[in-house]
Amino acid sequence: MMIAPANGARGEVALRIGSVDLVIAAEIGRLAAVSTALDCKSFVDLYQRLLGVEVAATLAGIRCLAVRGDAEKAIGELKLSDFANIKDAFAEALMHHIGDDAGKAVAAGEGAAAQTTKSPSLSGTG
């Protein structure tokens, strides 16, 4: 069964493992689940482990980052030859969130990067 295509604007990335089509996304909650599963101490640790082709990180990434498709079936069909494509898909999904935010704002028609606004609760009177 064919799954819906990945929505690149949302940071979704298509990934095929064996005969299984997946769509992954590096959403914050999903990244937190991978981080917890791997006991990562920082985002840098998580990033390095996902892109370092570490087997445990790859399995956790497939399980936690898949937004569509059968992740468990994909893991069952996983071969070492799939790891390069998985690494590329993880990198693409992560870069959607850590790329050029100012450039994204301009592309979205928002103009220049947002300015810092002070909270109204932080007044000079208290």
Q: Which tens digits make up the pLDDT trace of 99-109? A: 655 444 444 44
Percent with pLDDT over 70 in the chain: 76
Residue found under tokens 């606004």: 117
| 3 state DSSP class of 30 | helix
- Say whether pLDDT at 18 is over 70: yes
- Say whether pLDDT at 73 is over 80: yes
Q: Where are the beta strands (DSSP E) in the chain?
A: 12-17, 20-25, 66-68
* pLDDT score recorded for residue 99: 64
- The HSE-up count of residue 122 (CA atoms within 13 Å, CB side) is 3
73: which 2 tokens? 């079936």
d(CA 26, CA 32): 10
